[in-house]
Amino acid sequence: MTGLRWGILATGGIATAFTSDLRTAGLDVRAVGSRSQESADAFAATFGIPHAHASYKALVADPDVDIVYVSTPHPMHHANARLALDHGKHVLVEKAFTVNRAEAEDLQALAAEKGLLAMEAMWTRYLPHMVRIREIIAAGTLGEIRAVMADHTQSLPTDPAHRINALELGGGALLDLGIYPISFIWDVLGAPTGIQATGRLLETGADAEVATVMTHVGGAVSTSLASSRTAGPTAAIVMGTEARAEIGPFFLAPSVLRVIGPDGVVLEEFDGRPAPDTGRGMQFEALAAERLVAEGNIAGDILPIAETVEIMGALDEIRRQIGVRYPGEERTDG
């Protein structure tokens, strides 16, 4: 099957950005579902979407929808994605895929049972400059990779009720911001063999800052930093024995990649920023999802579902070390 018919589940800011990119790329958006008819109608009018549903259940039951983009807050991802899978729809689920590994494993198993694609919407993995850095690493240009450093730091609202600060909404810097550098590190170095984490918690119990030091196969090391209280460089550096690669500004969005030799000479500069009116870059993950379904590859490739599950497990361990638990989670630290 090619040319999937998309349904958009929820109508918030990230759904707006994603749907805008789908439209720019010429993809087929057939329906939107919200918790109110008014919100669904307004979203549908903005993007010229034929079907506007007043519930998520009505959206996933729409026979004109093949794949559902889940854009609700983290704690709702599992139930919303499960609803779509149970109705025979492929799912592209916003990061973080779920709030913990157990939920991710459940979606992985259900998707496999039904022969459907369940994919994390980690848009960074599919951007042109990320495609290029994988090519550079594979070619051996950087030599042996010994270290990776990445941060995602922003100055976000301090209101305790805001989703970034509220535990009941999956709040905290780690799941909202830190997942980007950790997923990037995983992409370059693979799964960590050891994790050390530290962080600072807010009065709400959510993490405001969290830093990690991880070891990887072959003894390579990585560091990550996430913060919702300060705006840092949000840059990434991959250091090898022959050269290093620097990505910025804002490495997780379309950005500039520079390969720099030991003497400081720039060996390559790749500008992955889009031309005007060509989209923000979220269309690349959607196109990848369509390709995977067309190929019958529900396991995924650039970010396989199995890797998403492992990353969620690492985030669980980081939260355990810094003392963050979401409502309903059992204690795992004794």
**3-class secondary-structure state, position 93:** strand
DSSP 333: -
Alpha-carbon distance of 74 to 163, in angstroms, equals 10
Alpha-carbon distance of 125 to 300, in angstroms, equals 12
CB 239 within 8 A of CB 147: yes
Catalytic-residue membership of 95: yes
Alpha-carbon distance of 298 to 281, in angstroms, equals 23
Catalytic residue among 57, 89, 95, 114: 95
CB 269 within 8 A of CB 258: yes
Q: Which of 141, 123, 154 is nearest to 244 (CA)?
A: 141
Alpha-carbon distance of 192 to 185, in angstroms, equals 9
Query: What single-letter amino acid sits at 247?
Result: I
> What φ, ψ does residue 248 adopt, rounded to 5°?
170, 165
Alpha-carbon distance of 95 to 43, in angstroms, equals 22
β-bridge mates for residue 210, sequence order: 199, 226
Residues forming the active site:
95
